[in-house]
Amino acid sequence: MKSAYLTINIGDLVKGATVAAGTVMLSLIGSMIESGAFITDTQLVIAVKTGVLAAISYLIKNVFTNSKDELFKSESN
């Protein structure tokens, strides 16, 4: 079930974590391809920060979306 306007549910948190994990993995793969070597600690920190920001962005979007996927609109009857 979709969450109501200005709320998030456990499904949103799970999807946010999935977005974060996917972002971290793709960032690390991109860094490895670009540098041609294994990742460094600095690249790992940057990838994790990017993943956290992606998850936060996803959750903010879901807080301001109602159960009908309308952005910035409260629940209507």
- Terminal-to-terminal C-alpha distance of the chain: 17
Task: Count the alpha carbons within 13 Å of 15 in the hemisphere toward its beta carbon.
Answer: 13
Q: What are phi and psi of 35, to 5 degrees?
A: -90, -20
Q: Is the separation of the CB atoms in 29 and 51 below 8 Å?
A: no
What would you measure as the largest C-alpha separation in the chain, in angstroms?
56
Mean pLDDT of the residues in the chain = 93
Residue that wins the pLDDT comparison between 44 and 2: 44
Q: Taking residues 62-73, what's their average pLDDT?
A: 90
**pLDDT value for 4:** 87
**pLDDT value for 40:** 93
- Give dist(CA 3, CA 47) in Å, integer: 29
**pLDDT value for 2:** 83
Domain residue spans of the chain: 10-62
**pLDDT value for 77:** 60
Q: Taking residues 18-25, what's their average pLDDT?
A: 97
